[in-house]
Structure 1
Amino acid sequence: MDMKKASMIIDKDYQISKIDPRIYGSFVEHLGRCVYGGIYEPGHPSADEQGFRKDVIDMVKELNVPLIRYPGGNFVSGYNWEDGVGPVESRPRRLDLAWRTVETNEVGTNEFADWAKRVNAEVNMAVNLGTRGIDAARNLVEYCNHPSGSYYSDLRRSHGYKEPHKFKTWCLGNEMDGPWQIGHKTAAEYGRIATEAAKVMKWVDPTIELVACGSSSRGMRTFAEWEATVLDHTYDHVEYISLHTYYGNPQNDISNFLAKSLDMDSFIKSVISICDYVKAKKRSKKQINLSFDEWNVWYHSHESDKRLEPWTVAPPQLEDVYNFEDALLVGCMLITLLRHSDRVKIACLAQLVNVIAPIMTNNGGETWRQTIFYPFMHASNYGRGTALQTIVKSPVYDSKEFTDVPYLESIAVHNEENEELTVFAVNRDTTEGLLLECDARQFEGYRVVEHLVLENDDIKAANTAERPDAVKPHSGGEAKLQDGRLTAPLPKLSWNVIRMKK
């Protein structure tokens, strides 16, 4: 029986956009064991002088994450930033109403800034527009970014941080259309406070960039109307609007699950349309870009989270154990983000450690890579440069929710500086391989240096502390490039990275 075939034309002049490295961002929230027991565990054998786990730092560096959103998430809507600065011994313990835990405030803004430097990442700082407002927001910008000679900048200096942190991107609150949010607001209420906060934050530091909250998900009743109203208020004061989405497979239908990146694609297109509608309405020359600052698979831990004892410190919350099929969807979602890199400039995989995360730890013990670690690591390390507008023909299938789902999900990235071309490809076919044939004649003198494949006979296989390498990629793919023609057999249900170099 002949293998199914898909074709692709790659032309270096057909460009989507230069990829903003921040598309490979992530997220650290004061939630579960993300901070305490994740990035920070003073008693751990690998802990550095500040209590940060060096084994975790090493793994984060493997992911090459350029930007990390902090400190929330739902947490930020009840957070007083002043609780997390100054002498640690005098910081208050607070009830965190977002996640029903106790926050010790051992780690705050300055400690996190130190940690971010260790992993070579910038901080995407969030301000509380739930219980707080304009005043706290401008004070935090002054504390973080103003050099000296004012109350809050001098307070930072008295805390041992002589130089300003110079945080560039800031989120104006979090998921403010969600009834679960502390300080939940209507679109008009949020639009007004976000505008006024944005104004004073930029008066303190005109160099910052701001992200307004979009809907908490496309499934919200408020979706679209919320974005339009919020942008009506904030358009002249912000650079980005946020998108959040999570997918799951509770029905155990892999063909439908792997098609969910089509929903993400359509979500992005909808938000771009709304941004451009407001632009037209305002007769503006300015373009609003997208910050997809929460995205991932999330559904495995829902049941265990219901049974947690409230008001404890750093309990194991949202600890999804990811399997092989989750890694494939994460791969499809990464390709979708890259395909929209002309407008999606920031994206944050939520989250980074322990909480719906690529990296897991045991308190006092080991750390390991979840299945989703690998597609993210490959995209982040090999997906730098320019996203190309490829012309793809692929056989298709229908699933429960989607029609005409291509078996091949793919993108090509050209790094002109390094003379590298990378094709990322997922084969969604559950039963057979797919032969990818590419016309790459423009890339004369290039050759295949590596064809990485993530595949597994067990779609539910997962990595654990005991079996950390149950699911991992190999470099035994059979891609060949001859006379400008790339041929690559893609195994059934596989994530592929085909790396070519001149």
Structure 2
Amino acid sequence: MMSNQASMIVDKDFTIAQVDERIYGSFIEHLGRAVYGGIYEPSHPTADENGFRLDVLEAVRQLKVPIIRYPGGNFVSGYNWEDGVGPRDARKHKLELAWWTTETNEIGTNEFAEWTKKVGSEVMMAVNLGTRGVDAARNLVEYCNHPSGTYWSDLRVSHGFKDPHAFRTWCLGNEMDGPWQIGAKTAVEYGRLANETAKAMRWVDPSLELVACGSSGSGMDTFAEWEATVLDHCYDNVDLLSLHTYYNNNNGDTANFLASSLDLDHFINSVAAICDYVQAKKKSKKKLYLSLDEWNVWKSQGSSRAEQRWQIGPPEFEDVYNLEDALVVGCCLISLLKHADRVKVACLAQLVNVIAPISTENGGPLWLQTTYFPYLHASLYGRGVVLHPMISSPKYDSKDFTDVPYLEAVSVYNEETEEVTVFAVNRHLTEGLDLRIDLRSFGEVRILEHIVLESEDIKAVNTKDHPENIRPHNQGNAMQDNGHIRSLLSKASWNVIRLKVEH
């Protein structure tokens, strides 16, 4: 096997930022089988007393997901949160207009709060600014976060939840510039509403961290002007601005697809620049941070429910992910780490069944998709301080990108465990990459393991019948070499090199 040469210098003094662990967040929407048939299936053999699938619980626990956005997504723009609380047998079945299904409301705010506790996560709550506004939002905050002694907080207590949920991070609506959105708005309409809603929510609970909606994607005609106009109205009362992006290889150009994270880099830099422009314009001392609260590889096109409306929990957007999809997810995770100084929340959308790393069969087994593994590795080993990577790598050009480095890499230093982790993707489709890592600023280091996700078939997938078809192994070839770490990264591979700092 031929190989190219690449090098990486990792210096403990060249820091980017402390990782906010919430960049390893995810998303559960009332969409497809994410909730019904995903996290919740009372008739399943593994279901607990609350109807939650224990096999799903365990797979999510393994990921150590710190925060999960809920309940949408497009769903939230038509959602009356009151429909999902109180006795289940009194809850209304309603037509759900975002995804053309029937919503039974068996799962609502309290049940989801209980589920996130079981998986060791927090809730990133979203309020409806499509069909509703200030009043419903402030009432929901009171219901969720106020201890007791008021109508809404006492209603929560009467529903069996004495202690407040204390949700801290809240989304002010979802994709409000999208014409597909129930109650879509102009930038001025949304900016004013977001500002007034933020004020009222904070008056109920001053500790809230609030996320304003950026445009639905960088390809929108509204992009950039939307962000600037919205922030012109609500900058002083919000803490983060959202970004949404998805990638696919529907045209079959793998080399171009593997460069997708360069687009993510540009997107993040562009939105950060707009935030800084508004900060300068307002002469504000407050820096706004970013919430990439929807991102993933999304291969399916359009909803399949158009001709089969009003089902309960139908299959929807159940993409099957292969190795190249996992590599793109890995590259995007590396991009998030490189922007840890600005991106404080990120949600892989979604978590179960719907464009998800975890797949289930109703009444049947669970299996892990290829994308589960880079997500798992980053969440487990990507906590600490991100170090600025000094990289030299051969490059290539593709349809949409120039100067794409074959090596995509970053390193994280966890001072508490005294470990350095290098995350690396070799984008080359036919050749290995001879990587030399200079870690001399750390003194002596010892290789703990070198995890690799690879396959001779870049289209390899895991399925219900073949759940172990593609799995990571820890037989990577990283070795010590005169104070450096040396490894031949196999073609089209995801690599995690874990190192212990010796004293």
Q: TM-score, normalised by structure 1?
A: 0.99
Structure 2 counterpart of 1:65, one-letter code: V
Structure 2: which amino acid aligns with 1:323?
N
- Shift of the 456–308 alpha-carbon distance from structure 1 to 2, 3 Å rule, reads farther
Is the contact made by 1:195 and 1:234 (CA closer than 8 Å) also made in structure 2? Answer: yes
Residue aligning to 2:249: 249
Write the distance in 2 (CA, Å) between the matches of 1:36 and 1:395: 47
Q: Does 1:26 align with 2:36?
A: no
Q: Residue 179 of structure 2 corresponds to which residue in structure 1?
A: 179
Judging changes above 3 Å, is the alpha-carbon distance between structure 1 residues 379 and 308 closer, same or farther for their aligned structure 2 residues? farther
> Structure 2 matches for 1:200-349, cutoff 5 A?
200-299=200-299, 301-302=300-301, 305=304, 309-349=308-348
Map of 1:117 onto structure 2: 117
| Structure 2 partner of 1:129 | 129
Q: Residue 447 of structure 1 aligns with which residue? A: 446
CA distance in 2, matches of 1:23, 1:337: 7
2:496 is the counterpart of 1:494: no
Structure 1 residues not aligned, in runs of 5+: none
Query: Residues 422-433 of structure 1: matches in 2 within 5 Å?
Result: 422-433=421-432
Unaligned runs of 5+ in 2: none
Note the alpha carbon deviations across 1:272-307, whole angstroms, 9 max, x for none: 0000000000000000000000000001x3278267
8 Å Cα contact 1:442/1:484 also seen in 2 = no
1:92-171 matches, cutoff 5 A: 92-171=92-171
Q: Which residue of 2 aligns with 1:364?
A: 363
Q: Is the 8 A contact 1:443 1:484 kept in 2?
A: no
* Alpha-carbon contact 2:99-2:305 (below 8 Å) kept: no
Aligned to 2:214, the other structure's residue is in SS state coil
For the pair 1:386 / 2:385, whether they are aligned, the reply is yes
Is 2:490 the counterpart of 1:457? Answer: no
Q: Give yes or no for contact 2:100–2:305 (8 Å, CA) kept in 1.
A: no
Q: Distance in 1 between matches of 2:462 and 2:32?
A: 20
Q: Aligned residue for 1:74?
A: 74
Residue in structure 2 matched with residue 195 of structure 1 by the alignment: 195
Secondary structure of 1:126's aligned partner: strand
Matched residue type, 1:64: K
Question: For residues 307-342 of structure 1, what are the alpha-carbon distances to aligned partners after superposition, in whole Å with 9 as ceiling and x for unaligned?
Answer: 761110000001001111100000000000110000
Give the Cα–Cα distance (whole angstroms) in 2 for the partners of residues 223 and 70 of structure 1: 24
CA contact 1:256–1:399 (8 Å) conserved in 2:
yes
Q: What secondary structure is seen at the aligned counterpart in 2 of 1:368?
A: strand
Structure-2 residue corresponding to 1:415: 414
Count of matched residue positions in the alignment of Structure 1 and Structure 2: 501
Q: Take 1:433 and 1:461, find their aligned partners in 2: how far apart are those partners?
A: 19
**Which structure 2 residues correspond to residues 3-22 of structure 1 after superposition, within 5 A?**
3-22=3-22
Q: Is the 8 A contact 1:441 1:483 kept in 2?
A: no
How far the C-alpha of 1:25 sits from its partner, in A, is: 0.2
Regions of 4+ moved over 3 Å:
none
Cα distance in structure 2, aligned partners of 1:306 and 1:257: 28
Cα distance in 2 for partners of 1:54, 1:2 equals 46
Identity %: 66
Q: What is the RMSD of the two structures over their aligned residues, measured on CA atoms?
A: 1.0
**Do the aligned partners of 2:99 and 2:303 also contact (CA within 8 Å) in 1?**
no
1:389 counterpart letter in structure 2 = H
Amino acid aligned to 2:336: L
Contact 2:87–2:159 at 8 Å: present in 1 too? Answer: yes
Cα deviation, 1:70-99, whole Å, max 9, x if unaligned, reads 000000000000000000000000111000
Deviation at 1:120, TM superposition (A): 0.4
Preserved contact between residue 100 and residue 306 of structure 2 (Cα < 8 Å)? no
State the partner residue of 1:406. Answer: 405
Q: Following TM superposition, by how much is the alpha carbon of 1:446 offset from its aligned partner in structure 2, in angstroms? A: 1.4
Asked if the contact 1:321–1:370 (Cα under 8 Å) also holds between the matched residues in 2, the reply is yes
**Separation in 2 of the partners of 1:207 and 1:332?**
34
Amino acid at match of 2:397: D
Q: For residue 305 of structure 1, give the secondary structure of its aligned residue in structure 2.
A: coil
- Asked if 1:41 corresponds to 2:45, the answer is no
Note closer, same or farther for the CA distance 1:308–1:27 as it changes in structure 2 (3 Å cut): farther
Worse-matched range after superposition: 476-485 or 190-199: 476-485
1:376 and 2:392 aligned: no
Distance 1:428 1:191, change over 3 A: same
Equivalent position SS for 2:408? strand
- In the alignment, is the contact (CA less than 8 A) between 1:77 and 1:129 conserved in 2? yes
Q: Distance in 2 between matches of 1:2 and 1:223?
A: 43
Q: Secondary structure at the match of 1:315?
A: coil
Distance 1:356 1:230 in 2: 29
Deviation at 1:483, TM superposition (A): 3.8
Q: Which amino acid aligns with 2:66?
A: P
Q: Hey, what's the Cα distance between the residues in 1 that align with 2:463 and 2:434?
A: 33
2:383/2:414 contact within 8 Å kept: yes
Are 1:473 and 2:472 an aligned pair?
yes
Find the residue that maps to 1:295 and give its secondary structure. strand
What are the Cα deviations for residues 203-232 of structure 1, in whole angstroms up to 9, with x where unaligned? 000001000000100000000000000111
**Whole-angstrom CA distance in 1 between matches of 2:230 and 2:174:** 13
SS in 2 for 1:442: helix
User: Could you tell me whether the CA contact under 8 Å between 2:2 and 2:431 is conserved in 1?
Assistant: no
Deviates more, 1:304-313 or 1:327-336: 304-313
**Counterpart-to-counterpart distance in 2, 1:80 and 1:249:** 37
Shift of 1:447: 0.7
Question: Secondary structure at the residue paired with 2:268?
Answer: helix
Q: In structure 1, what is the Cα distance between the partners aligned to 2:4 and 2:346? A: 33
C-alpha separation in 2, matches of 1:488 and 1:184? 51
Render the CA deviation track for 1:115-171: whole Å, top value 9, x for unaligned: 000000000000000000000000000000000000000000000000000000000
Q: What residue in structure 1 maps to residue 62 of structure 2?
A: 62
CA–CA distance in 2 between the matches of 1:151 and 1:239? 29
1:417 partner letter = E
Deviation at 1:408, TM superposition (A): 0.3
Aligned partners of 1:477 and 1:303: how far apart in 2? Answer: 40
The answer to whether the Cα contact below 8 Å between 2:66 and 2:122 also exists between their aligned partners in 1 is yes
Distance (Å, rounded) in 1 between the aligned partners of 2:261 and 2:13: 26
SS in 2 for 1:181: coil
